[in-house]
């Protein structure tokens, strides 16, 4: 018995435009594949809602009323986290949806396609960010927790040292290859968010940790940080064993627990600690901005808890003395 041919799904005009917009982000705007995927997911959620709830089929049918109702929908939307617990979308996540939609509307306007003006969309105010960072004693305990002499322990100590030395994002760390690192000059360039390249620096302790780790590597994998299989050739299957961001996250948490640190420590905590340490020791915020690769100084200003404390100490020391 022959099965009837499946009906081919018809791509709507809006879906077609979304695909073209994602191509535009990748090619003309030089956005990463991750950014492309995120924007595609955020805008697809809007298009699905607008079609199902308001029968929107064309750009001209996107109105302020539809967007307003969509934002209420986002605010009340619940999803399941990794532990199966239902939770609502954070304000910042909702804002990412709005920012993506606003970019899509700007793209439509650039192509002279009639739709809602992007100026009609106002991004909500994010709550003040609380920056979790480790104090110097906690950083030392975390680093010392990776005290093994086996190859995996040497690797872990090396990437922990490099995190704190260079203020890297986890995505930047896992992308590193061995030939990208110049241990003699103790610096290297990294391509961060938005394709921006910046120079980062390797401390003396990070250099030593990397040398101990790399001197013990016997494989030919180009990745700087790889996973190791017991009793096997790490490169036998001819595929890269590059560590994933998730593996890095789990490992950082493991050593934080071993070090007895009660804070919720993750890779970005070390990036925060890097910035906090610089400011605490007198670095100006513009220099910290450059070393973190922030395109906007307002992003770096989340670390004003350090500079504010410094000002408070100056005030206490010098003001009101008789």
pLDDT tens-place string over residues 221-238: 999 999 986 444 544 454
Q: Is the pLDDT of residue 82 over 70?
A: no
pLDDT of residue 234: 47
Displacement of CA 109 from its chain's centroid (Å): 29
Most confident of 180-184, 229-233, 276-280, 294-298: 180-184
User: What's residue 192's pLDDT?
Assistant: 83
Place of tokens 């915020």: 285
Question: CATH topology for 13-120?
Answer: DNA polymerase; domain 1 (1.10.150)
Q: What is the pLDDT of residue 305?
A: 65
Q: What is the pLDDT of residue 319?
A: 60
Q: Which segments of the chain belong to CATH 1.10.443.10?
A: 136-317
In the chain, list all ranges with CATH 1.10.150.130. 13-120
pLDDT at 56: 94
Q: Distance between CA 312 and CA 322 in Å, rounded?
A: 19
Task: Give yes or no for residue 175 having a pLDDT over 80.
Answer: yes
The pLDDT assigned to 130 comes to: 64
Of the candidates 253, 235, 228, 227, which has an alpha carbon nearest to the alpha carbon of residue 174?
Answer: 227
Active-site positions? 169, 193, 268, 271, 294, 303
* Short-list 48, 47, 71, CA closest to 120: 71
Q: What share of the chain in percent tops pLDDT 90?
A: 56
State residue 232's pLDDT score.
Answer: 45
Contacts 24+ apart (CB under 8 A), 183-188: 183/207, 183/210, 183/211
How distant, in Å, are the alpha carbons of 181, 205, 247, 253, 316 from that of 156?
17, 14, 11, 12, 42
* Residue 186 pLDDT class (50, 70, 90 cuts): very high
Distance in angstroms (rounded) separating the CA atoms of residues 245 and 226: 11
Q: Which residue has the higher pLDDT, 317 or 21?
A: 21
pLDDT in tens, 18-39: 999 999 999 998 888 888 999 9
CA distance 297 to 290: 9
pLDDT mean across residues, the chain: 86
Work out the average pLDDT over 81-110: 89
Choice between 319 and 271, residue whose per-residue pLDDT is larger? 271
- State CA 144 to chain mean position distance: 26
For the question of whether the overall pTM of this predicted structure is more than 0.85, the answer is: no
**Is residue 206 predicted with pLDDT exceeding 70?**
yes
pLDDT higher than 60, residue 315 = no
DSSP count for the chain of H helices, then E strands: 13, 4
Q: Which residue has the higher pLDDT, 207 or 192?
A: 207
Residue 290 has pLDDT above 60, yes or no: yes
For the chain, give the percent of residues with pLDDT over 70: 85
- Whether the predicted pLDDT of 6 surpasses 70: no
DSSP 129: P
Beta bridge partner(s), residue 226? 242
At the fourth CATH level, the homologous superfamily of domain 136-317 is Intergrase catalytic core (1.10.443.10)
């Amino acid at each position: 018995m022959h099965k009837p041919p499946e009906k081919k799904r018809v791509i709507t005009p809006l879906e077609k435009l979304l695909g073209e917009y994602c191509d535009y982000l990748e090619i003309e705007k030089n956005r990463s594949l991750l950014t492309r995927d995120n924007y595609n997911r955020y805008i697809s959620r809007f298009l699905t809602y607008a079609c199902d709830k308001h029968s929107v089929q064309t750009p001209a049918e996107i109105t302020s009323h539809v967007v307003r109702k969509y934002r209420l929908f986002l605010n009340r939307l619940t999803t399941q986290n990794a532990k199966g617990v239902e939770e609502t979308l954070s304000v910042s996540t909702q804002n990412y949806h709005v920012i993506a939609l606003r970019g899509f509307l700007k793209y439509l306007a650039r192509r002279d396609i009639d739709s809602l003006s992007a100026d009609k969309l106002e991004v909500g105010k994010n709550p003040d960010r609380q920056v979790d960072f480790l104090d110097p004693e906690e950083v030392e305990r975390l680093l010392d927790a990776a005290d093994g002499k086996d190859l995996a322990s040497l690797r872990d100590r090396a990437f922990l040292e490099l995190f704190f030395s260079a203020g890297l994002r986890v995505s930047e760390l896992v992308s590193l290859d061995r030939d990208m690192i110049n241990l003699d000059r103790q610096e290297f360039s990294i391509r961060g968010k938005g394709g921006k390249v910046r120079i980062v620096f390797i401390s003396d302790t990070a250099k030593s940790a990397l040398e101990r780790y790399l001197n013990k590597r016997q494989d030919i994998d180009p990745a700087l940080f790889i996973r190791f299989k017991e009793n096997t050739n790490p490169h036998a299957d001819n595929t890269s064993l590059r560590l994933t961001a998730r593996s890095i996250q789990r490992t950082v948490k493991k050593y934080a627990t071993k070090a007895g640190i009660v804070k919720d420590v993750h890779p970005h905590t070390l990036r925060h600690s890097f910035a906090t340490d610089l400011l605490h020791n007198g670095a100006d915020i513009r220099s910290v901005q450059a070393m973190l690769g922030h395109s906007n100084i307002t992003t770096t200003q989340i670390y004003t808890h350090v500079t504010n404390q410094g000002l408070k100490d100056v005030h206490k020391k010098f003001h009101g003395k008789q």
